[in-house]
């Protein structure tokens, strides 16, 4: 059985994940109208992944005897000055999500809720990957600079982007 304070914290994280999905959906729309089809498809996939993270939390709360709540969401930013700025915002947001997950882990340990703590370890690992991916993308964008050919190749290649981190199982 999940405590009321853990339930409240998990419901707050459900909202964070839902807002993440909306943020990335807005980024996808912006990229698509700018002709960055690869970036758009990448961001559409990221949006779906965030929605899946939200659903996983919802199921966990409900299965533990709590009640998952769906709340209103903040409207995401829908315009960016450049695709580099968009990915900088993505990294900032992933850092925010990591901090939110870390706070949840802290609460679960304070309350000695080891089932929730164990469940959240997947999110901790996922956030390591998300932040590493955002940093890697920004590194590539910095390499490209103002090279239009580099942007074309980046846009084409980003759809196949995968990141291997130290937190991932198996060889790096």
Fold of 4-160: Ferritin (1.20.1260)
Tell me phi and psi for residue 158, to 5 degrees.
Answer: -65, -25
Q: Which residues contact 159 (CB under 8 A, 6 or more apart)?
A: 38, 41, 42
Taking the domains of the chain in order of start, what are their residue ranges?
A: 4-160
Length of the chain: 172
Q: Is the pTM of this model over 0.85?
A: yes
How much is the pLDDT for 172? 47
Q: Looking at per-residue confidence, does 37 or 162 come out higher?
A: 37
Query: Percent of the chain having pLDDT more than 90?
Result: 84
**Tokens of residue 120, six digits:** 């959240």
**Tokens of residue 152, six digits:** 């074309």
């Amino acid at each position: 059985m999940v405590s009321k304070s853990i339930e409240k914290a998990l419901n707050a994280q459900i909202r964070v994940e839902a807002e993440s999905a909306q943020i990335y959906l807005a980024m996808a729309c912006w990229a698509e109208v700018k002709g960055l089809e690869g970036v758009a498809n990448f961001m559409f996939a990221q949006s779906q992944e965030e929605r899946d993270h939200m659903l996983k939390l919802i199921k966990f709360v409900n299965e533990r005897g709590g009640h998952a709540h769906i709340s209103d969401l903040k409207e995401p930013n829908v315009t960016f000055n450049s695709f580099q700025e968009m990915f900088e915002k993505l990294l900032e947001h992933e850092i925010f999500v990591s901090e939110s997950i870390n706070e949840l882990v802290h609460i679960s340990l304070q309350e000695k809720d080891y089932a929730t703590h164990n469940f959240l370890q997947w999110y901790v690992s996922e956030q390591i990957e998300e932040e590493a991916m955002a940093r890697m993308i920004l590194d590539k964008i910095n390499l490209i600079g103002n090279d239009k050919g580099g942007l074309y190749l980046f846009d084409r290649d980003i759809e196949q982007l995968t990141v291997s981190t130290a937190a991932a199982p198996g060889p790096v």
